[in-house]
Amino acid sequence: MGMKTLERLKGLPLVVVGVGLLALPSFVDNYILYVMTRLFVYVLVALGLNLLTGYTGQVSLGHAAFFAIGAYTAAVLAESWRWPSVLCVVAAAVFTAVVGYLLGLPCLRLSGLYLAMATLGFTLIVQEMLLQLAVITHGSEGMKVRPASILGFTFDSDYRKYFLLLVVTTSMLIVARNLIRGRTGRAFLAIRENERAAEAMGVNLAQYKTIAFAISALYTGLAGALSAFLVGFLDPQEFSVFLSIQFITIIILGGLGSLLGSVLGAGFLIILPELLAGLDVWQALVYGLLMVLTIIFMPYGLSGAIRRHAYRWLGVGVEPIVPRRLGH
Amino acid sequence: MIDLSVHQLALNFGGVRAVDGVTFSLHEGEIHGLIGPNGAGKTTTFNCVTGFYRPTGGTIRFREREITHLRPDQIARLGIARTFQNVQLFRSMSALDNILVAKHSQMRTGILAEALALRLVRRQERMARGEAEELMEFLGLMGIQRQTAGNLPLGSQKRLELGRALALEPKLLLLDEPASGLNTSETQVLAQLLLKIRDRFKLTVLLVEHDMGLMMNISDTITVLNFGRKIAEGTPRDVQNDPEVVKAYLGENSGAERR
């Protein structure tokens, strides 16, 4: 009946968005393409962070550090070692994943706010290392990175960068969805929901928490590496605790434990300031106010609100339950 | 054949001997009850067997294999499933997903294969889903597969938790106060269900209960604990008439009155 038709129409918004994103470059100027490309980078990070924090329930303020590690690894390999771009990006993502795994090991003993503190410390350490290891990172001078190229095809225009990021981000979104729907995703959720019960069902907590750290770091390192090539310059000041807080803000506003939330949250944080640019001095104020209102009226983020209303008014999906909040 | 043997089990909590040299064994296919007044050490024993507590002394063997110092997830994968005294579901996951979590260790897929949703992964997912639904049908939980577990009424939640334990395909099932919160007629239904489960899945069951009623009906053997020690063991009839047991239960009451 009506409900079944609605369920079947669930794929429709996806198709519309997909066509829209493919057609977008024909209609807008370079600046908007640049903003969109930045948005894709943030979506990648938000997907990674949500896998760890939203799905597995492990809070992290260390993602600016993962982002920096990905960016600097790619930059150093490309500029100092002259590696091909693809290898730089892949190596940076894998290396960041290894670092994430290693950070996950001592973090097994922590949860909630304590875990947040420890990962925050990690961000401070990595940023200081970027400044101190000047032999490799060029310290406070920063690093220049030339555009990426694959087999002679150089991603030097906003147009080309846009499509590169569109393809990578979409693929990684699908990968995240596959993981979430399978055995690994259920283990993550089970850990978030109830560690004791998860253990009693044969889920190795240490193994899956560290895997969550590694996958999350992989996404963030990948985003960092791509961002290095897109922006063309690395400034160590960028990778501060504030960036980590921005990442967390994205997934909380968008919706914890929701892939759609990662996308919407990144959209909120990246696109909204652009829309408010005309407000001049009032911009920060209005932006902050919107953030406060959003979290008050949509405590489970934009995706949580959408899910709630879809169930209530259209009968789509299932009755949502109040998920646990961060740092419970 | 002996399924589980607990030998001289001991656990101290900061000077308090919660379990003090308890020995008992479970024969394959039996329903074994563990009873005793409050604080007798039933749940503590239970948590030692399932790896949630590390005993300070004694050994636990499951089918000739020592499991005394294994982690809960390792013990679960060996075929020991449990439920909790207060229902512990994955509350914001669907009922079906709750059961599928227990299928975790039966599925053989790598993360990379899952990330790419290879055919092998999809096939295993379909199989696990089929088995989970079959189990839900057996437990009378059809029609609620997609509902959020935390929104279900308590009765369904308890059944779902039981279903989740069964989905592990255990050889030994440990139930911690399955009748708590149920009224007399619901307890009757549960008793029948437990007998049916034991026969259908060829299980050995260890049942912890505070109350005697359910135990007397379905247990083959009963072990009685008091203050961390075993005070009696035998058939329900033997145990019921044991003077030590009577004293333990009545003694507890008179102690309470005096206070």
Helix A112-132 and helix A85-107, axial crossing angle in degrees, nearest 10: 140
B129 within a domain of the structure (yes/no): yes
Task: Please judge whether A198 and B102 are an interchain contact, meaning their C-beta atoms are less than 8 angstroms apart.
Answer: no
The predicted pLDDT at position B255 comes to 43
Confirm if B224 and B242 have CB atoms less than 8 A apart. Answer: yes
B198 and B257 within one domain: yes
Per the prediction, chain B carries an average pLDDT of 90
A230 within a domain of the structure (yes/no): yes
Confirm if B6 and B49 have CB atoms less than 8 A apart. Answer: yes
Confidence of residue A313 (pLDDT cuts 50, 70, 90): confident
- For range B142-147, the mean pLDDT: 90
Task: Please judge whether B90 and A190 are an interchain contact, meaning their C-beta atoms are less than 8 angstroms apart.
Answer: yes
Which of A94, A189, A201, A204 is the best residue to mutate to test the B interface, defined by the most B CB atoms within 10 Å of its own CB? A201
The residue among B168, B185, B219 that closes a domain is B168
Q: Tokens standing for B7?
A: 């030998």
Confidence of residue A321 (pLDDT cuts 50, 70, 90): low
B168 touching A, CB under 8 A? yes
**Nearest Cα residue to B161 out of B183, B190, B185:** B190
A294 within a domain of the structure (yes/no): no
B84 within a domain of the structure (yes/no): no
The predicted pLDDT at position B256 comes to 41
CA geometry: angle at A298 spanning A295 and A303, to 5°? 115
B107 and B220 within one domain: no
B118 and B70 within one domain: no
B223 and B254 within one domain: yes
The predicted pLDDT at position B52 comes to 96
B112 and B45 within one domain: no
B109 touching A, CB under 8 A? yes
Domain span at B146: 92-168
Question: How distant, in Å, are the alpha carbons of A246, A276, A282 from that of A285?
Answer: 17, 10, 5
Which is it for the CA torsion A277, A162, A268, A231, positive or negative?
A: negative
Q: Determine how β-strand B204-209 pairs with β-strand B172-176.
A: parallel
B245 and B118 within one domain: no
- For range A168-174, the mean pLDDT: 97
Q: Is residue A3 over pLDDT 90?
A: no
Beta-carbon contacts of residue A267 (< 8 Å; ≥ 6 apart): A39, A254
Q: How many domains does chain A have?
A: 1
Span B219-241, pLDDT tens digits? 999 999 999 999 999 999 898 88
- For A66-94, give the DSSP string: HHHHHHHHHHHHHHTS---HHHHHHHHHH
The predicted pLDDT at position A48 comes to 98
B109 and B48 within one domain: no
Nearest CA-CA distance, residue A299 and chain B, Å: 16
- For range A34-44, the mean pLDDT: 97
B87 within a domain of the structure (yes/no): no
Cα–Cα distance, B200 to B134 (Å, whole number): 13
Among the partner-chain residues B90, B107, B121, the one whose CB lies closest to the CB of A193 is B90
- For range B129-135, the mean pLDDT: 95
DSSP-assigned beta bridge partners for residue B233: B223
Q: Is residue A188 over pLDDT 70?
A: yes
Task: Please judge whether A186 and B104 are an interchain contact, meaning their C-beta atoms are less than 8 angstroms apart.
Answer: yes
Q: How many domains does chain B have?
A: 2
The predicted pLDDT at position A146 comes to 92
Q: Residue B51: left if φ>0, alpha if ψ -120 to 50, beta else—which one?
A: left
Among the partner-chain residues A182, A193, A202, the one whose CB lies closest to the CB of B114 is A182
The residue among B168, B193, B218 that closes a domain is B168
Task: For chain A, list residues whose CB is within 8 angstroms of any CB belonging to chain B.
Answer: 175, 178-179, 181-184, 186-187, 189-190, 193-194, 196-205, 211, 215, 257, 318-324
End-to-end CA distance of chain B: 46
Span B53-107, pLDDT tens digits? 999 999 999 998 999 999 999 999 999 999 998 899 999 999 999 999 999 989 8
- For range A40-57, the mean pLDDT: 97
> Which percentage of chain A shows pLDDT scores above 90?
71
Q: Is residue B168 over pLDDT 60?
A: yes
Span A61-83, pLDDT tens digits? 999 999 999 999 999 999 999 99
**Nearest Cα residue to A8 out of A319, A320, A316:** A316
Among the partner-chain residues B101, B111, B114, the one whose CB lies closest to the CB of A201 is B101
B174 and B164 within one domain: no
Place of tokens 């299932």: A318
Q: What ipTM is given for this predicted complex?
A: 0.91
The predicted pLDDT at position A273 comes to 87
B160 and B48 within one domain: no
What residues 110-149 of chain B have any CB closer than 8 A to a CB of chain A? Answer: 111, 114-117, 121, 125, 146-148
Q: Please state the pTM of the whole predicted model.
A: 0.92
B174 and B153 within one domain: no
B104 and B69 within one domain: no
Task: Please judge whether B71 and A200 are an interchain contact, meaning their C-beta atoms are less than 8 angstroms apart.
Answer: no
Which of A94, A101, A179, A183 is the best residue to mutate to test the B interface, defined by the most B CB atoms within 10 Å of its own CB? A183
**Nearest Cα residue to B94 out of B28, B45, B156:** B156
Cα–Cα distance, B40 to B48 (Å, whole number): 14
The predicted pLDDT at position A248 comes to 95
Confidence of residue B245 (pLDDT cuts 50, 70, 90): confident
Helix, strand, coil in percent for chain A, rounding step 5: 80, 0, 20
Q: Is residue A21 over pLDDT 80?
A: yes
- For range A150-156, the mean pLDDT: 87
Domain span at A201: 30-254
Cα–Cα distance, B160 to B149 (Å, whole number): 8
The predicted pLDDT at position B214 comes to 81
Q: Which residues of chain A neighbour B131 with C-beta distances below 8 Å?
A: none
